[in-house]
Structure 1
Amino acid sequence: MLIILFSEVNFYFKIEPFASWYFPIIWFGYIFVVDAIVYKLKGNSLIMSRREQFLKALLLSALIWWLFELINLRTINWHYLSTPTGYAEPAWIRFFIFRTIAFSTVLPAIIETFELTRTFKLFNKIKLMKHHKTTHKFLRNMVLAGLIMLILTAISPKHFYPFIWIAFYFILDPINYLHKQPSIIGYWKNGKIKPPLMLFVAGTLCGLLWEFWNYYAVTKWFYEIPFVGFFKIFEMPILGYLGYGPFAWELFAMYYFARSLHIGKTKHSFLELNKI
Protein backbone atom coordinates (compact mmCIF):
# COMPACT_ATOMS: atom_id res chain seq x y z
CA MET A 1 0.00 0.00 0.00
CA LEU A 2 2.88 2.37 0.79
CA ILE A 3 4.28 1.77 -2.70
CA ILE A 4 0.97 2.81 -4.28
CA LEU A 5 0.64 5.86 -2.02
CA PHE A 6 4.20 6.95 -2.73
CA SER A 7 3.67 6.54 -6.48
CA GLU A 8 0.49 8.61 -6.41
CA VAL A 9 2.04 11.39 -4.30
CA ASN A 10 5.14 11.41 -6.47
CA PHE A 11 2.91 11.99 -9.49
CA TYR A 12 2.77 15.62 -8.35
CA PHE A 13 6.40 15.99 -7.21
CA LYS A 14 7.97 14.13 -10.18
CA ILE A 15 10.95 12.84 -8.20
CA GLU A 16 13.20 10.85 -10.53
CA PRO A 17 13.76 8.07 -11.30
CA PHE A 18 10.51 7.13 -9.54
CA ALA A 19 8.36 9.37 -11.73
CA SER A 20 9.57 7.76 -14.95
CA TRP A 21 9.21 4.30 -13.41
CA TYR A 22 5.72 5.08 -12.06
CA PHE A 23 3.89 2.38 -14.03
CA PRO A 24 5.84 -0.75 -13.00
CA ILE A 25 6.27 0.54 -9.45
CA ILE A 26 2.55 1.05 -8.94
CA TRP A 27 1.72 -2.32 -10.49
CA PHE A 28 4.09 -4.16 -8.18
CA GLY A 29 2.46 -2.24 -5.35
CA TYR A 30 -0.96 -3.42 -6.54
CA ILE A 31 0.23 -7.03 -6.80
CA PHE A 32 1.66 -6.96 -3.27
CA VAL A 33 -1.46 -5.34 -1.80
CA VAL A 34 -3.88 -7.76 -3.44
CA ASP A 35 -1.70 -10.72 -2.47
CA ALA A 36 -1.75 -9.57 1.16
CA ILE A 37 -5.55 -9.20 1.07
CA VAL A 38 -5.98 -12.64 -0.48
CA TYR A 39 -3.63 -14.17 2.09
CA LYS A 40 -5.55 -12.50 4.91
CA LEU A 41 -8.88 -13.78 3.59
CA LYS A 42 -7.84 -17.28 2.51
CA GLY A 43 -4.69 -18.14 4.41
CA ASN A 44 -2.73 -18.70 1.18
CA SER A 45 -1.76 -16.60 -1.81
CA LEU A 46 0.51 -16.56 -4.84
CA ILE A 47 3.46 -14.73 -3.27
CA MET A 48 3.12 -15.90 0.32
CA SER A 49 2.40 -19.55 -0.46
CA ARG A 50 3.66 -20.19 -4.01
CA ARG A 51 6.61 -17.87 -4.41
CA GLU A 52 8.39 -19.99 -7.00
CA GLN A 53 5.31 -19.78 -9.20
CA PHE A 54 5.21 -16.02 -8.75
CA LEU A 55 8.80 -15.64 -9.94
CA LYS A 56 8.15 -17.87 -12.94
CA ALA A 57 4.99 -15.90 -13.68
CA LEU A 58 7.08 -12.72 -13.90
CA LEU A 59 9.36 -14.31 -16.48
CA LEU A 60 6.57 -15.88 -18.54
CA SER A 61 4.59 -12.64 -18.43
CA ALA A 62 7.49 -10.66 -19.90
CA LEU A 63 8.01 -13.24 -22.66
CA ILE A 64 4.31 -13.23 -23.56
CA TRP A 65 4.07 -9.48 -23.81
CA TRP A 66 7.23 -9.18 -25.88
CA LEU A 67 5.44 -11.51 -28.30
CA PHE A 68 2.62 -8.97 -28.52
CA GLU A 69 5.19 -6.23 -29.06
CA LEU A 70 6.46 -8.16 -32.08
CA ILE A 71 2.90 -8.43 -33.38
CA ASN A 72 2.47 -4.69 -32.85
CA LEU A 73 5.27 -4.08 -35.34
CA ARG A 74 2.69 -5.16 -37.90
CA THR A 75 -0.55 -3.84 -36.39
CA ILE A 76 0.94 -0.59 -35.00
CA ASN A 77 -1.96 -0.24 -32.55
CA TRP A 78 0.06 1.42 -29.80
CA HIS A 79 3.27 3.36 -29.37
CA TYR A 80 5.25 4.62 -26.41
CA LEU A 81 6.07 8.12 -25.25
CA SER A 82 9.33 8.94 -23.51
CA THR A 83 12.13 6.72 -22.24
CA PRO A 84 12.62 6.21 -18.50
CA THR A 85 15.54 7.90 -16.83
CA GLY A 86 18.39 5.78 -15.55
CA TYR A 87 22.07 5.03 -15.83
CA ALA A 88 21.93 2.41 -18.59
CA GLU A 89 23.14 3.59 -21.97
CA PRO A 90 22.22 3.69 -24.76
CA ALA A 91 18.58 4.64 -24.39
CA TRP A 92 17.29 1.45 -26.01
CA ILE A 93 18.80 -0.57 -23.16
CA ARG A 94 16.85 1.52 -20.64
CA PHE A 95 13.75 1.06 -22.76
CA PHE A 96 14.23 -2.72 -22.89
CA ILE A 97 14.83 -3.03 -19.15
CA PHE A 98 11.89 -0.79 -18.30
CA ARG A 99 9.50 -2.58 -20.65
CA THR A 100 10.58 -6.04 -19.52
CA ILE A 101 9.98 -5.14 -15.88
CA ALA A 102 6.62 -3.55 -16.73
CA PHE A 103 5.59 -6.50 -18.91
CA SER A 104 6.47 -8.93 -16.12
CA THR A 105 3.56 -7.62 -14.03
CA VAL A 106 0.79 -8.50 -16.51
CA LEU A 107 0.26 -12.18 -15.72
CA PRO A 108 0.76 -11.86 -11.93
CA ALA A 109 -1.74 -8.98 -11.89
CA ILE A 110 -4.36 -11.13 -13.62
CA ILE A 111 -3.70 -14.04 -11.25
CA GLU A 112 -3.89 -11.89 -8.12
CA THR A 113 -7.07 -10.17 -9.30
CA PHE A 114 -8.57 -13.54 -10.15
CA GLU A 115 -7.74 -14.82 -6.66
CA LEU A 116 -9.32 -11.72 -5.18
CA THR A 117 -12.54 -12.18 -7.16
CA ARG A 118 -12.72 -15.74 -5.83
CA THR A 119 -13.12 -14.37 -2.32
CA PHE A 120 -16.26 -12.48 -3.43
CA LYS A 121 -17.93 -15.78 -4.41
CA LEU A 122 -19.08 -14.37 -7.72
CA PHE A 123 -21.19 -16.48 -10.06
CA ASN A 124 -21.79 -19.18 -7.43
CA LYS A 125 -25.40 -19.58 -8.53
CA ILE A 126 -24.68 -19.78 -12.26
CA LYS A 127 -24.44 -23.35 -13.48
CA LEU A 128 -24.46 -25.19 -16.79
CA MET A 129 -25.46 -28.71 -17.65
CA LYS A 130 -22.47 -31.02 -17.50
CA HIS A 131 -21.03 -33.32 -20.16
CA HIS A 132 -21.31 -31.09 -23.19
CA LYS A 133 -19.99 -32.99 -26.19
CA THR A 134 -16.57 -31.86 -27.40
CA THR A 135 -15.45 -33.53 -30.61
CA HIS A 136 -12.01 -33.61 -32.19
CA LYS A 137 -13.51 -31.88 -35.21
CA PHE A 138 -14.67 -29.01 -33.00
CA LEU A 139 -11.21 -28.72 -31.45
CA ARG A 140 -9.49 -28.78 -34.85
CA ASN A 141 -11.85 -26.10 -36.12
CA MET A 142 -11.01 -23.91 -33.12
CA VAL A 143 -7.28 -24.20 -33.83
CA LEU A 144 -7.90 -23.53 -37.51
CA ALA A 145 -10.00 -20.47 -36.65
CA GLY A 146 -7.21 -19.11 -34.46
CA LEU A 147 -4.62 -19.61 -37.20
CA ILE A 148 -6.89 -17.89 -39.72
CA MET A 149 -7.26 -14.97 -37.31
CA LEU A 150 -3.49 -14.53 -37.14
CA ILE A 151 -3.12 -14.82 -40.91
CA LEU A 152 -5.86 -12.26 -41.52
CA THR A 153 -4.24 -9.92 -39.01
CA ALA A 154 -0.91 -10.25 -40.80
CA ILE A 155 -2.52 -9.63 -44.20
CA SER A 156 -4.74 -6.72 -43.20
CA PRO A 157 -3.95 -5.49 -39.68
CA LYS A 158 -6.09 -2.40 -40.15
CA HIS A 159 -9.23 -4.53 -40.36
CA PHE A 160 -8.41 -7.60 -38.27
CA TYR A 161 -6.20 -6.31 -35.42
CA PRO A 162 -8.76 -7.24 -32.69
CA PHE A 163 -8.09 -10.90 -33.42
CA ILE A 164 -4.71 -10.79 -31.67
CA TRP A 165 -6.51 -10.62 -28.31
CA ILE A 166 -8.33 -13.92 -28.83
CA ALA A 167 -6.46 -15.87 -31.57
CA PHE A 168 -3.97 -17.55 -29.24
CA TYR A 169 -6.84 -18.69 -27.03
CA PHE A 170 -8.47 -20.43 -30.01
CA ILE A 171 -5.17 -22.08 -30.92
CA LEU A 172 -3.89 -23.10 -27.50
CA ASP A 173 -6.96 -23.90 -25.40
CA PRO A 174 -7.94 -26.94 -27.54
CA ILE A 175 -4.32 -28.16 -27.36
CA ASN A 176 -4.37 -27.77 -23.58
CA TYR A 177 -7.65 -29.69 -23.44
CA LEU A 178 -6.20 -32.57 -25.47
CA HIS A 179 -3.08 -32.62 -23.28
CA LYS A 180 -5.27 -32.82 -20.16
CA GLN A 181 -4.18 -29.39 -18.98
CA PRO A 182 -6.72 -27.00 -17.43
CA SER A 183 -8.67 -25.32 -20.23
CA ILE A 184 -11.68 -23.09 -20.70
CA ILE A 185 -13.14 -25.78 -22.97
CA GLY A 186 -12.79 -28.34 -20.20
CA TYR A 187 -14.58 -26.17 -17.68
CA TRP A 188 -17.41 -25.41 -20.08
CA LYS A 189 -17.72 -29.10 -20.92
CA ASN A 190 -18.06 -30.00 -17.25
CA GLY A 191 -20.56 -27.26 -16.56
CA LYS A 192 -18.07 -25.12 -14.62
CA ILE A 193 -18.82 -21.66 -15.96
CA LYS A 194 -17.47 -19.89 -12.87
CA PRO A 195 -13.70 -20.04 -13.67
CA PRO A 196 -14.04 -18.55 -17.20
CA LEU A 197 -16.34 -15.80 -15.94
CA MET A 198 -14.03 -14.95 -13.05
CA LEU A 199 -11.06 -14.77 -15.40
CA PHE A 200 -13.08 -12.50 -17.67
CA VAL A 201 -13.88 -10.18 -14.75
CA ALA A 202 -10.25 -10.20 -13.58
CA GLY A 203 -9.06 -9.25 -17.06
CA THR A 204 -11.56 -6.42 -17.32
CA LEU A 205 -10.69 -5.03 -13.88
CA CYS A 206 -6.98 -5.13 -14.68
CA GLY A 207 -7.68 -3.46 -18.01
CA LEU A 208 -9.36 -0.55 -16.28
CA LEU A 209 -6.41 -0.17 -13.92
CA TRP A 210 -3.86 -0.49 -16.73
CA GLU A 211 -5.50 2.35 -18.58
CA PHE A 212 -6.05 4.47 -15.47
CA TRP A 213 -2.44 4.28 -14.29
CA ASN A 214 -1.04 4.58 -17.80
CA TYR A 215 -3.00 7.81 -18.30
CA TYR A 216 -1.05 9.55 -15.52
CA ALA A 217 2.33 7.96 -16.22
CA VAL A 218 5.32 9.90 -17.53
CA THR A 219 6.49 6.95 -19.61
CA LYS A 220 3.26 5.79 -21.23
CA TRP A 221 1.60 4.41 -24.34
CA PHE A 222 -0.94 5.80 -26.79
CA TYR A 223 -3.27 3.98 -29.16
CA GLU A 224 -3.72 4.17 -32.91
CA ILE A 225 -6.90 2.14 -33.38
CA PRO A 226 -8.67 2.20 -36.76
CA PHE A 227 -12.43 2.77 -37.01
CA VAL A 228 -13.26 2.63 -33.28
CA GLY A 229 -10.90 5.23 -31.81
CA PHE A 230 -13.77 7.30 -30.41
CA PHE A 231 -15.06 8.02 -26.89
CA LYS A 232 -11.88 7.38 -24.98
CA ILE A 233 -11.81 6.43 -21.32
CA PHE A 234 -8.26 7.46 -20.41
CA GLU A 235 -6.23 6.57 -23.53
CA MET A 236 -8.34 3.55 -24.52
CA PRO A 237 -11.44 3.89 -26.74
CA ILE A 238 -14.44 2.46 -24.92
CA LEU A 239 -14.86 -0.50 -27.27
CA GLY A 240 -11.26 -1.49 -26.55
CA TYR A 241 -12.22 -2.52 -23.03
CA LEU A 242 -14.18 -5.42 -24.51
CA GLY A 243 -10.86 -7.07 -25.30
CA TYR A 244 -9.54 -7.41 -21.76
CA GLY A 245 -11.80 -10.30 -20.75
CA PRO A 246 -10.84 -12.46 -23.75
CA PHE A 247 -7.22 -11.42 -23.18
CA ALA A 248 -7.38 -13.02 -19.72
CA TRP A 249 -8.56 -16.26 -21.35
CA GLU A 250 -5.68 -15.97 -23.80
CA LEU A 251 -3.16 -15.56 -20.98
CA PHE A 252 -4.70 -18.56 -19.23
CA ALA A 253 -4.28 -20.68 -22.37
CA MET A 254 -0.73 -19.43 -22.94
CA TYR A 255 0.26 -20.22 -19.37
CA TYR A 256 -1.00 -23.77 -19.43
CA PHE A 257 0.47 -24.39 -22.87
CA ALA A 258 3.85 -23.27 -21.51
CA ARG A 259 3.27 -25.46 -18.47
CA SER A 260 2.59 -28.48 -20.69
CA LEU A 261 6.01 -27.87 -22.24
CA HIS A 262 7.50 -27.90 -18.72
CA ILE A 263 8.17 -24.16 -18.88
CA GLY A 264 7.53 -22.96 -15.36
CA LYS A 265 5.99 -26.28 -14.36
CA THR A 266 5.45 -26.76 -10.64
CA LYS A 267 3.64 -29.25 -8.47
CA HIS A 268 0.74 -26.82 -8.08
CA SER A 269 -1.83 -25.68 -10.60
CA PHE A 270 -0.98 -22.02 -11.20
CA LEU A 271 -4.47 -20.60 -10.85
CA GLU A 272 -5.66 -23.51 -8.72
CA LEU A 273 -8.87 -23.71 -10.72
CA ASN A 274 -9.23 -27.32 -9.67
CA LYS A 275 -10.30 -25.98 -6.27
CA ILE A 276 -13.15 -23.87 -7.66
Structure 2
Amino acid sequence: MLKRPKMFLLLFLVSSAFWWFFEYLNHFVHNWYYLGPPITPFARVLTASLAFSTVLPAVLSTVYWIATFKQLHHAYTGYWTFRVPYPRRLALLALITSTLSLFALGAWPDSSYPLVWVSPLIVLVSLQALTGQKTIFSVLQNGDWRPFCLPAMAGLQCGFFWELWNYGCMTPWKYNIPFVDRFHLFEMPLLGYAGYLPFGLECTLIASFLGLRVHTSPSTQ
Protein backbone atom coordinates (compact mmCIF):
# COMPACT_ATOMS: atom_id res chain seq x y z
CA MET A 1 0.00 0.00 0.00
CA LEU A 2 2.78 2.43 0.96
CA LYS A 3 5.51 1.18 -1.37
CA ARG A 4 3.31 1.04 -4.51
CA PRO A 5 0.39 3.42 -3.97
CA LYS A 6 -0.49 3.61 -7.68
CA MET A 7 -0.81 -0.16 -7.86
CA PHE A 8 -2.91 -0.15 -4.72
CA LEU A 9 -5.25 2.41 -6.28
CA LEU A 10 -5.43 0.30 -9.44
CA LEU A 11 -6.70 -2.53 -7.29
CA PHE A 12 -9.91 -0.60 -6.68
CA LEU A 13 -10.68 -0.50 -10.41
CA VAL A 14 -9.74 -4.13 -10.96
CA SER A 15 -11.66 -5.15 -7.85
CA SER A 16 -14.89 -3.74 -9.23
CA ALA A 17 -14.54 -5.65 -12.51
CA PHE A 18 -13.44 -8.74 -10.58
CA TRP A 19 -16.61 -8.88 -8.50
CA TRP A 20 -18.85 -8.03 -11.46
CA PHE A 21 -17.55 -11.27 -12.96
CA PHE A 22 -19.00 -13.17 -10.01
CA GLU A 23 -22.24 -11.23 -10.37
CA TYR A 24 -22.35 -12.51 -13.94
CA LEU A 25 -21.87 -16.10 -12.76
CA ASN A 26 -24.57 -15.59 -10.16
CA HIS A 27 -26.94 -14.72 -12.99
CA PHE A 28 -26.99 -18.46 -13.75
CA VAL A 29 -27.20 -19.90 -10.23
CA HIS A 30 -29.11 -17.13 -8.37
CA ASN A 31 -27.37 -17.88 -5.07
CA TRP A 32 -27.69 -14.31 -3.79
CA TYR A 33 -29.91 -11.33 -4.50
CA TYR A 34 -30.21 -7.76 -3.31
CA LEU A 35 -33.05 -5.98 -1.54
CA GLY A 36 -33.69 -2.28 -1.35
CA PRO A 37 -35.69 0.58 -2.85
CA PRO A 38 -35.95 0.72 -6.65
CA ILE A 39 -33.22 2.78 -8.31
CA THR A 40 -32.21 3.43 -11.89
CA PRO A 41 -29.89 0.93 -13.59
CA PHE A 42 -27.17 3.59 -13.81
CA ALA A 43 -27.38 4.33 -10.09
CA ARG A 44 -27.33 0.63 -9.30
CA VAL A 45 -24.22 0.01 -11.40
CA LEU A 46 -22.48 3.06 -9.95
CA THR A 47 -23.18 2.32 -6.30
CA ALA A 48 -22.49 -1.40 -6.72
CA SER A 49 -19.20 -0.72 -8.50
CA LEU A 50 -18.08 1.55 -5.68
CA ALA A 51 -18.87 -1.17 -3.14
CA PHE A 52 -17.21 -3.89 -5.23
CA SER A 53 -14.06 -1.78 -5.60
CA THR A 54 -13.17 -2.38 -1.95
CA VAL A 55 -13.08 -6.18 -2.18
CA LEU A 56 -9.53 -6.77 -3.43
CA PRO A 57 -7.91 -4.07 -1.26
CA ALA A 58 -9.71 -5.44 1.80
CA VAL A 59 -8.66 -9.05 1.27
CA LEU A 60 -5.07 -8.25 0.32
CA SER A 61 -4.64 -5.88 3.25
CA THR A 62 -5.96 -8.62 5.53
CA VAL A 63 -3.43 -11.08 4.10
CA TYR A 64 -0.63 -8.68 5.00
CA TRP A 65 -2.06 -8.21 8.47
CA ILE A 66 -2.44 -11.95 9.10
CA ALA A 67 1.15 -12.46 7.92
CA THR A 68 2.39 -10.42 10.89
CA PHE A 69 1.40 -13.22 13.30
CA LYS A 70 4.51 -15.35 13.69
CA GLN A 71 2.56 -18.20 15.26
CA LEU A 72 0.88 -18.85 11.92
CA HIS A 73 4.23 -19.12 10.16
CA HIS A 74 5.34 -21.83 12.56
CA ALA A 75 2.04 -23.62 12.02
CA TYR A 76 2.13 -23.62 8.22
CA THR A 77 5.82 -24.16 7.41
CA GLY A 78 7.67 -27.45 7.54
CA TYR A 79 4.34 -29.10 6.96
CA TRP A 80 3.15 -31.87 4.66
CA THR A 81 4.85 -31.64 1.24
CA PHE A 82 2.85 -31.90 -1.94
CA ARG A 83 4.28 -32.22 -5.44
CA VAL A 84 2.20 -31.90 -8.60
CA PRO A 85 3.25 -34.49 -11.22
CA TYR A 86 3.52 -33.29 -14.83
CA PRO A 87 2.51 -29.73 -13.86
CA ARG A 88 2.12 -28.29 -17.38
CA ARG A 89 0.07 -31.21 -18.68
CA LEU A 90 -2.09 -31.19 -15.59
CA ALA A 91 -2.48 -27.42 -15.82
CA LEU A 92 -3.69 -27.66 -19.42
CA LEU A 93 -6.16 -30.39 -18.52
CA ALA A 94 -7.36 -28.43 -15.48
CA LEU A 95 -7.75 -25.26 -17.54
CA ILE A 96 -9.90 -26.98 -20.14
CA THR A 97 -11.96 -28.86 -17.56
CA SER A 98 -12.57 -25.89 -15.27
CA THR A 99 -13.45 -23.61 -18.18
CA LEU A 100 -15.93 -26.11 -19.54
CA SER A 101 -17.34 -26.66 -16.06
CA LEU A 102 -18.50 -23.05 -15.94
CA PHE A 103 -20.96 -23.87 -18.70
CA ALA A 104 -22.60 -26.33 -16.31
CA LEU A 105 -23.80 -23.43 -14.18
CA GLY A 106 -26.61 -22.64 -16.56
CA ALA A 107 -27.55 -26.26 -17.21
CA TRP A 108 -27.46 -27.60 -13.64
CA PRO A 109 -27.42 -24.58 -11.31
CA ASP A 110 -28.68 -26.40 -8.21
CA SER A 111 -25.85 -28.94 -8.24
CA SER A 112 -23.00 -27.03 -9.91
CA TYR A 113 -23.10 -23.73 -7.98
CA PRO A 114 -19.91 -24.50 -5.94
CA LEU A 115 -18.06 -24.15 -9.25
CA VAL A 116 -18.72 -20.41 -9.04
CA TRP A 117 -15.89 -20.27 -6.50
CA VAL A 118 -13.76 -23.28 -7.42
CA SER A 119 -13.51 -23.09 -11.21
CA PRO A 120 -12.13 -19.53 -11.45
CA LEU A 121 -9.43 -20.49 -8.94
CA ILE A 122 -8.41 -23.50 -11.04
CA VAL A 123 -8.41 -21.38 -14.20
CA LEU A 124 -6.12 -18.78 -12.63
CA VAL A 125 -3.70 -21.35 -11.19
CA SER A 126 -3.60 -23.20 -14.51
CA LEU A 127 -2.79 -20.00 -16.39
CA GLN A 128 0.03 -19.30 -13.97
CA ALA A 129 1.49 -22.77 -14.47
CA LEU A 130 1.19 -22.61 -18.26
CA THR A 131 2.94 -19.23 -18.39
CA GLY A 132 5.83 -20.46 -16.26
CA GLN A 133 4.90 -18.59 -13.10
CA LYS A 134 5.02 -19.97 -9.60
CA THR A 135 1.66 -21.10 -8.31
CA ILE A 136 0.24 -21.62 -4.85
CA PHE A 137 1.07 -25.30 -5.32
CA SER A 138 4.73 -24.64 -6.18
CA VAL A 139 5.71 -23.91 -2.60
CA LEU A 140 3.76 -26.86 -1.23
CA GLN A 141 6.53 -29.15 -2.43
CA ASN A 142 8.73 -27.47 0.19
CA GLY A 143 6.11 -27.84 2.90
CA ASP A 144 5.31 -24.11 2.90
CA TRP A 145 1.53 -23.75 3.14
CA ARG A 146 1.47 -20.04 3.95
CA PRO A 147 0.66 -18.81 0.41
CA PHE A 148 -2.24 -21.28 0.44
CA CYS A 149 -3.60 -20.92 3.97
CA LEU A 150 -3.10 -17.23 4.76
CA PRO A 151 -5.09 -15.87 1.78
CA ALA A 152 -7.83 -18.41 2.49
CA MET A 153 -7.96 -17.21 6.09
CA ALA A 154 -8.07 -13.60 4.91
CA GLY A 155 -10.97 -14.36 2.60
CA LEU A 156 -12.87 -16.04 5.41
CA GLN A 157 -12.19 -13.21 7.83
CA CYS A 158 -13.32 -10.55 5.35
CA GLY A 159 -16.36 -12.65 4.53
CA PHE A 160 -17.32 -12.82 8.19
CA PHE A 161 -17.27 -9.04 8.55
CA TRP A 162 -19.08 -8.48 5.25
CA GLU A 163 -21.85 -10.76 6.44
CA LEU A 164 -21.88 -9.07 9.84
CA TRP A 165 -22.27 -5.60 8.31
CA ASN A 166 -24.88 -6.87 5.88
CA TYR A 167 -27.03 -8.33 8.64
CA GLY A 168 -29.90 -6.03 9.51
CA CYS A 169 -28.89 -3.23 7.14
CA MET A 170 -31.50 -1.37 5.08
CA THR A 171 -30.33 -2.73 1.71
CA PRO A 172 -29.07 -6.26 2.43
CA TRP A 173 -28.26 -9.15 0.18
CA LYS A 174 -29.97 -12.46 0.82
CA TYR A 175 -29.07 -16.04 -0.07
CA ASN A 176 -30.79 -18.90 -1.81
CA ILE A 177 -28.34 -21.81 -1.71
CA PRO A 178 -29.69 -25.28 -2.52
CA PHE A 179 -29.23 -28.12 -0.02
CA VAL A 180 -27.31 -26.09 2.59
CA ASP A 181 -29.63 -23.14 3.22
CA ARG A 182 -29.88 -23.70 6.99
CA PHE A 183 -27.96 -23.03 10.23
CA HIS A 184 -27.32 -19.42 9.34
CA LEU A 185 -24.69 -17.12 10.77
CA PHE A 186 -26.16 -13.74 9.87
CA GLU A 187 -27.73 -14.14 6.41
CA MET A 188 -25.21 -16.72 5.21
CA PRO A 189 -25.66 -20.48 5.79
CA LEU A 190 -22.72 -21.84 7.78
CA LEU A 191 -21.52 -24.08 4.95
CA GLY A 192 -21.68 -21.11 2.61
CA TYR A 193 -18.71 -19.54 4.37
CA ALA A 194 -16.55 -22.21 2.74
CA GLY A 195 -16.80 -20.23 -0.48
CA TYR A 196 -14.72 -17.46 1.05
CA LEU A 197 -11.70 -19.79 1.31
CA PRO A 198 -11.04 -20.19 -2.44
CA PHE A 199 -12.17 -16.60 -2.94
CA GLY A 200 -9.29 -15.37 -0.79
CA LEU A 201 -6.88 -17.32 -2.98
CA GLU A 202 -8.46 -15.88 -6.12
CA CYS A 203 -7.91 -12.37 -4.82
CA THR A 204 -4.18 -12.96 -4.34
CA LEU A 205 -3.91 -14.59 -7.76
CA ILE A 206 -5.52 -11.57 -9.42
CA ALA A 207 -3.01 -9.38 -7.60
CA SER A 208 -0.13 -11.53 -8.86
CA PHE A 209 -1.35 -11.18 -12.45
CA LEU A 210 -1.19 -7.41 -11.93
CA GLY A 211 2.42 -7.76 -10.85
CA LEU A 212 1.65 -7.21 -7.18
CA ARG A 213 3.26 -9.90 -5.09
CA VAL A 214 1.33 -10.69 -1.94
CA HIS A 215 3.90 -11.52 0.71
CA THR A 216 3.06 -14.16 3.26
CA SER A 217 6.37 -14.09 5.11
CA PRO A 218 7.17 -11.63 7.90
CA SER A 219 10.70 -11.22 6.58
CA THR A 220 9.34 -9.60 3.40
CA GLN A 221 7.03 -7.10 5.01
TM-score past 0.5 threshold:
yes
Counterpart position of 2:213:
270
Q: Deviations over 1:46-73 (max 9, x none)?
A: 2x33211211110111001111111111
Residue identity (%)? 32
Distance 1:133 1:238, change over 3 A: closer
Greater Rg, structure 1 or structure 2? 1
Counterpart position of 2:27:
73
The TM-score, its normalising length taken from structure 2, stands at: 0.88
After TM superposition, the structure 1 = structure 2 runs for residues 16-35 of structure 1, keeping only pairs within 5 Å, are none
How far apart are 1:223 and its partner, in Å? 0.8
How far apart are 1:79 and its partner, in Å? 0.9
Q: Which moved more, 1:138-147 or 1:57-66?
A: 138-147
The TM-score, its normalising length taken from structure 1, stands at: 0.72
Distance 1:213 1:161 in 2: 24
Counterpart position of 2:66:
117
Which 5+ residue runs of structure 1 have no aligned equivalent? 1-45, 85-89, 260-264
Distance 1:175 1:191 in 2: 23
Q: Deviations over 1:103-140 (max 9, x none)?
A: 00111111011011011121324324668344122222
Distance 1:131 1:248, change over 3 A: closer
How far apart are 1:180 and its partner, in Å? 3.5
Distance 1:129 1:242 in 2: 22
1:93 aligns with 2:36: no
Distance 1:133 1:150 in 2: 24
- 2:187 pairs with one of 226, 235, 238: 235
Secondary structure at the counterpart of residue 16 of structure 2: helix
Secondary structure at the counterpart of residue 114 of structure 2: helix
Secondary structure at the counterpart of residue 158 of structure 1: helix
Distance 1:115 1:60 in 2: 19
Report the number of matched residues.
216
Contact 1:130 1:190 in 2 (8 A): yes
Distance 1:270 1:91 in 2: 38
Counterpart position of 2:17:
63
Q: Please tell me the root mean square deviation across aligned C-alpha atoms, in Å.
A: 2.2
Distance 1:178 1:128 in 2: 26
Distance 1:142 1:123 in 2: 30
Distance 1:215 1:125, change over 3 A: closer
Higher relative contact order (CA 8 A, sep 6+): 2
Contact 1:169 1:254 in 2 (8 A): no
Distance 1:240 1:159 in 2: 14
Distance 1:130 1:224 in 2: 38
In the alignment, residue 71 of structure 1 is paired with which amino acid? L
